[in-house]
Amino acid sequence: MLGKKWKPNYFTTADTLQIAADGPMSPETATGSPRGAIELSRISQEAPNSPPDESSTVGPTTPAPKKKKKPKKTQQLSTKRKLHVHLLDHSSNFFSQVLADVVESIIGAAYIHGGFSLGYECIKYFDLGLKWQPVEGRIAGILARVDALTEDDNVVSFPPQLSDVERMLGYTFRRKLLLIEALTHASYQDDSRTPSYERMEFLGDSVLDMIVTDYLYRAPGKNYSPGHMHLRKSAVVNGHILAYICLNTSTIVEATIPRPNATSGAIEETSDAQEIHLYKCLLHSSSKVLEDQINTFTRFRHRKPEIEEALTSGTIFPWAALTRLQAPKFFSDMVESIIGAIFLDSYGSIDVVRDVISRLGIMSILRHIVDADVDVLHPVSRMSLWAQKHDKGLEYDIQHEGSRVICRILVDGIEEAVVTDRWRGKPSQEEVKFAAAEMAIKAFKLRDVGVGYEQMRKKKVSRSKKKKAKGKTDSMSG
């Protein structure tokens, strides 16, 4: 006994054989019955087909006579044990997910009942392995470090575009360094006081997520399911729409410019209104970023009327037109990092952040999606679901021909939609595919095909089952 870890033996070999002979257990039986407890104990203590541990036997024992093993029965026992282990693992994962869902729903209930502060206190109660401090204290610590950086500068100088950005946002920063950080690209080399906006962008993304989710949860008369809330949130919080917001946000600046008088030739100051766009206020030192800004804004001016009409009065979300902007990630990063900076500068005020994103136009887009019941499902997903529901063969034939790219949608081998566009690199293939899918949706009048999120999830499950069944059939035939 000394030097060995004692393990209790709650059953005999005969019990084990009886359990195996009874057949597989359901997850409920495996976790809720005495037999399930015995099976759990057995699986956790010994390997399959291993004899009882002699060191765990209390008192003198008489060795049992050796019996010849029957290979066939031993193999059946091993297979059933594997099935038991699988059922128990499945049951464990199932109940772990249920417990996780319960914890998350309790946190959500606390937020609904008492707002952000009570939700935060509820999260603190569950610990989650983190060091929890009051939100005000954490933000105060961050702001104190920002103030220390400002005090260390003998001459405090700020980029001139900060006042333009504040005018666009309708918000004046108490600590300008936060806004500088929110506008600082990783390539910027002229100011070492702040890092790039990457951390601030991560924070702003989370804050925006929370505000949009709160609106969808409380949408009057809707009572959205989690799947439908996710679809609508994904339409508003994604790189394409936030890049559009960045490109579309601007302010008019009145300036005086010295010009010669046409008659006398004397120099006179004349007023000149200039439009400043948010994307131009990015602090960077990269020629590639500058080139991307110019090219993306050119595409934006061409696509703006189409996108604006769809976002304000359309019934189908303009996925294809937004994708055609081909906006690099830094456009959407700017919007999210600015939101994060405002959250910190306002001492964590969700109401202040909500006012700013309303001014940017994000909330009006969300309200239209909810009020007009806009179809936000991606057009490619919509076509795929329609084809599955009606047992249609769907094919996207994309061809690159010279300076053009063409996408043809074939339904049961018949061409139903064609979109042609100028070739601008590989992303053009995705653009024409989305545009062709939207064209087919309008042509087939698939706006109200009655396919919801839950049905979409069931289709994915059934499709995976069909693939598995087909694989088994192929292997058997082979």
CA separation for the pair 45, 16 (Å, rounded): 13
Whether 141-250+280-371 shares its CATH topology with 379-472 is answered no
Long-range contacts of 43-50 (CB under 8 A, 24+ apart): 43/81, 43/84, 43/85, 43/88, 45/7, 45/9, 48/77, 48/78, 48/81, 48/82, 49/74, 49/77, 49/78, 49/81
H or E segment at 434? helix 427-444
pLDDT score at 471: 53
In this structure, are residues 22 and 80 in contact, taking their beta carbons and an 8 Å threshold? no
pLDDT score at 67: 58
How many helices and strands, by DSSP H and E, does the chain display? 18, 5
In this structure, are residues 19 and 35 in contact, taking their beta carbons and an 8 Å threshold? yes
Q: Which of 295, 296, 342 is nearest to 183 (CA)?
A: 342
**Residue ranges of domains in the chain:** 12-49+74-132, 141-250+280-371, 379-472
**CATH entry 1.10.1520.10 includes domain 141-250+280-371:** yes
Q: Which of 114, 57, 48 is nearest to 82 (CA)?
A: 48
Question: What residues does 418 pair with on adjacent strands?
Answer: 408
pLDDT score at 10: 41
In this structure, are residues 429 and 405 in contact, taking their beta carbons and an 8 Å threshold? yes
In this structure, are residues 229 and 216 in contact, taking their beta carbons and an 8 Å threshold? yes
The residue with tokens 């499945």 is 90
pLDDT (tens place) for every residue of the chain, 478 residues total: 444 444 444 444 444 444 444 544 444 444 444 444 444 444 444 444 444 444 444 445 555 555 555 555 444 555 555 555 555 565 667 677 788 888 889 999 999 998 888 888 888 888 888 888 888 888 888 888 888 877 665 546 788 899 999 999 999 999 999 999 999 999 998 876 788 999 999 999 999 999 999 999 999 889 999 989 999 999 999 999 999 999 999 998 877 777 777 677 677 777 677 889 999 999 999 999 999 999 999 999 999 999 999 999 998 899 988 988 989 999 999 999 999 999 999 999 999 999 999 999 999 999 999 999 998 988 888 888 888 888 889 989 998 888 889 999 988 888 888 888 888 777 778 888 888 888 888 887 775 544 444 444 444 445 445 555 555 555 544 4
CA 466 remoteness from chain centre:
28
Cα angle, residue 340 at apex, residues 336 and 341 outer, rounded to 5°: 115
Coil, strand or helix: which one is 272? Answer: strand
Strands ordered across the beta sheet of 414-422: 394-401, 404-411, 414-422
Question: What residues does 401 pair with on adjacent strands?
Answer: 404
**What would be the CATH architecture of the domain defined by 379-472?**
2-Layer Sandwich (3.30)
Question: Checking DSSP bridges between strand 414-422 and strand 404-411, what pairing results, if any?
Answer: antiparallel
In this structure, are residues 371 and 312 in contact, taking their beta carbons and an 8 Å threshold? no
